[in-house]
Structure 1
Amino acid sequence: MGVSTSAPHAGVAVVTVDFPPVNALPVQGWYELASAVRGAGRDPDVRCVVLAAAGRGFNAGVDIKEMQRTEGHQALIGANHGCYEAFAAVYDCQVPVVAAVHGFCLGGGIGLVGNADAIVASDDATFGLPELDRGALGAATHLARLVPQHLMRALYYTSRTVTAEELHRHGSVWRVVPRAELSDAALELAREIAAKDGALLRLAKAAINGIDPVDVRRSYRFEQGFTFEANLSGIADRHREAFVSGPSGLSAEAGERR
């Protein structure tokens, strides 16, 4: 359990997240993920990083139960800072990052894949931001990198999800494959990228980030300020408590919905 790094092929590092039951990461988990991605990117022998997950889904966001059982706002502040670090680690990784997504990709998961360089997904993958249902705000910055502006707004306001195939039609998912083929498909793309000159790949990543029309770090930090406002007003806590005390199962644990 936790975050691990492996090297299945020359030039490729795979960072795998495993926090059962649904990969809702605790505060420390976000920092571990950030450290692993940054470490892989700094390795001179690595030319591409694959971000993957074990278990039922790719990512279900922050561990709301941890937040609710912690006195004061320390868990909220920790989660916000941890998410910021993990999202930035993916974006700033010195080499391209390929996200391999299966099952649900929700909340913080959108922040990760929205900052990745490419996404390969299984045909059972769904993507969404149930933030309003959880008393939070944030990651609209990253959802806007996956879908057009008006669709992003509708998805955000309704907490609905979209499928991998729908994102493929929008051009934000590179390839959709059966679940059993996801790892091979992600590694295939990673190996193709890793076949390039490592120094040039690092220059290319820095150049592409440099011409990005949106500063994802600043815009996400701006969003987080409204999450704090929702908490100070008491709105957020009411929604989180309703979530924690709600029915069990994937629909409650991961907030998956259409």
Structure 2
Amino acid sequence: MGVSTSSPDKGIALVTVDFPPVNALPVQGWYDLADVVTAAGRDPGTRCVVLTAAGRGFNAGVDIKEMQRDPGHDALVGANRGCYAAFSAVYECEVPVVAAVRGFCLGGGIGLVGNADAIVASEDATFGLPELDRGALGAATHLSRLVPQHLMRALYYTSRTATAAELHAHGSVWRVVPGGELHDAALELAREIAAKDGYLLRLAKAAINGIDPVDVRRSYRFEQGFTFEANLSGVADRVRNTFGEEKQS
């Protein structure tokens, strides 16, 4: 359990997230992910990072139960800072990051793939922000990098999800493949990227980030302020505490 790194091919770092049962990451998990992705990109032998996950789905966001156990705001502040660190690590990774997504990609998962350089997804992959159903806000910054503005708003307000095929139609998913082919498809793209000159790839990543029309770090940090306001007002707890009830009904 945790975050691990392997090297399936020359120049490729495979970062695997494994937090059973649904990859809802605790505070420390987000920080660990940030550290691993940063270290992989900093390694001079790495030319491409592939971000994937074990278990039932790619990512279910933050560990809500960890927040419910905390009588104060330490877990909330920790999750905010941890997510910010992990999302930034993917965005600022010195080499391109390919996200390999299967199953559900929710909440914080959107922050990760929205900041990745390319996405390969399985046919059963779904993407969404159930934040309003969980007493939270955030990651609209990253969802807006995956779908057009008005669709992002509709998905955000309704907590609905979009399929991998729908995101492929919008151009944000590179390929959609059967689940059993996801690993190979992600590595195929990573190998094509890693075949380029390593130094030039790093310059390319920095250059592309430099012309990004939206400062994703500032934009996401702005959103997080409203998440904290929702918690201080009490509405977040009121909504979040219905999470377990919904699961049982």
1:66-95 Cα distance to aligned partner (Å, 9 max, x none): 000012000000000000000000000000
Contact 1:64 1:244 in 2 (8 A): no
In structure 2, what is the equivalent of residue 83 of structure 1? 83
How many pairs were matched up?
249
In structure 1, what is the Cα distance between the partners aligned to 2:244 and 2:99?
Answer: 29
Long gaps (5+) in structure 2: none
Aligned-residue offset at 1:239: 1.2
Q: Which letter does structure 1 place at the counterpart of 2:212?
A: D
Q: Secondary structure at the match of 1:247?
A: helix
In structure 2, what is the Cα distance between the partners aligned to 1:135 and 1:246?
Answer: 13
1:36-60 Cα distance to aligned partner (Å, 9 max, x none): 0000000000000000000000000
In structure 1, what is the Cα distance between the partners aligned to 2:56 and 2:247?
Answer: 18
In structure 1, what is the equivalent of residue 62 of structure 2? 62
In structure 2, what is the Cα distance between the partners aligned to 1:193 and 1:77?
Answer: 36
In structure 1, what is the equivalent of residue 52 of structure 2? 52
In structure 2, what is the equivalent of residue 191 of structure 1? 191
In structure 1, what is the Cα distance between the partners aligned to 2:42 and 2:239?
Answer: 40
Q: Secondary structure at the match of 2:111?
A: helix
Q: TM-score, normalised by structure 2?
A: 0.99
> CA RMSD of the aligned region, Å?
0.8
In structure 2, what is the Cα distance between the partners aligned to 1:69 and 1:246?
Answer: 18
The 5 A counterparts of 1:1-150 are 1-150=1-150
Q: Secondary structure at the match of 2:242?
A: helix
In structure 1, what is the Cα distance between the partners aligned to 2:82 and 2:136?
Answer: 15
In structure 1, what is the equivalent of residue 212 of structure 2? 212
In structure 2, what is the equivalent of residue 255 of structure 1? none
Long gaps (5+) in structure 1: 253-258
Aligned-residue offset at 1:245: 3.7
Aligned-residue offset at 1:246: 3.3
The 5 A counterparts of 1:239-254 are 239-248=239-248
Runs of 4+ off more than 4 Å: none
In structure 2, what is the Cα distance between the partners aligned to 1:126 and 1:247?
Answer: 19
In structure 2, what is the equivalent of residue 235 of structure 1? 235
In structure 1, what is the Cα distance between the partners aligned to 2:233 and 2:101?
Answer: 35
In structure 2, what is the equivalent of residue 256 of structure 1? none
Q: Secondary structure at the match of 2:71?
A: coil
Aligned-residue offset at 1:202: 0.2
In structure 1, what is the Cα distance between the partners aligned to 2:133 and 2:144?
Answer: 19
In structure 2, what is the Cα distance between the partners aligned to 1:108 and 1:208?
Answer: 23
In structure 2, what is the Cα distance between the partners aligned to 1:228 and 1:2?
Answer: 27
Q: Secondary structure at the match of 1:121?
A: strand
In structure 1, what is the Cα distance between the partners aligned to 2:105 and 2:205?
Answer: 24
Q: Which letter does structure 1 place at the counterpart of 2:144?
A: A
Q: Which letter does structure 2 place at the counterpart of 1:201?
A: L
In structure 1, what is the equivalent of residue 172 of structure 2? 172
1:164-213 Cα distance to aligned partner (Å, 9 max, x none): 00000000000000000000000000000000000000000000000000
Q: Which letter does structure 2 place at the counterpart of 1:181?
A: E
Q: Secondary structure at the match of 2:6?
A: strand
In structure 1, what is the equivalent of residue 182 of structure 2? 182
Contact 1:38 1:89 in 2 (8 A): yes
